[in-house]
Amino acid sequence: MGVFSFNQIEPTNKTAYIGYWLSEDMQGQGIISAVIEAAISTYAREGTVRRFVIKCIVTNQASNRVAQRNGFTLEGCLKQAEFLNDEFHDQNIYGRIVD
C-alpha cells in the first residue's frame, strides 16, 4: 500500500524531512495528503517541528504535486542529489513553515 516517514528530524532546527511512497493503485485518492496534514498538525501543535521539508526527483510529477497541493513552497533544486536506478537525479526541495 504505502509508507510515510520522517526520514530525518533536526531537533535544534525543529526541521523534519518527509518521505513517502504509495503504490500506483492507491495514488490519486488524497491518502498521502491526509497523512502529511495529520503529521504536520500533530508535530506543529506539540512544538516539536516548525519547518517541514519534502525532497523529490524533478521528473516525479506526482510527488511534486503532493508537495505543491499541501502548501509547500519550492525553495530550489539540488543538482544530482539522488542516486536511483544507476543514475543521479536532480531533486526539488520544498519547504513549509508552520508557526
Grid cell of 55 as nine digits: 525532497
**Torsion angle of alpha carbons 65, 72, 56, 15, nearest 10°?**
-150
pLDDT of residue 1: 85
52, 53, 64: which is closest to 90 by C-alpha?
64
CATH of the domain at 46: 3.40.630.30
* Residue carrying C-alpha cell 495514488: 27
| Residue numbers of the domain that contains 16 | 2-97
pLDDT of residue 34: 96
Does 3 score more than 90 pLDDT? yes
Strands 51-57 and 15-22: parallel
pLDDT of residue 22: 92
Is 88:78 a contact under the CB 8 Å cutoff?
no
Number of domains making up the chain: 1
pLDDT of residue 99: 86
49-85 residue pLDDT tens: 999 999 999 999 999 999 999 999 999 999 999 999 9
**Torsion angle of alpha carbons 75, 87, 69, 20, nearest 10°?**
-110
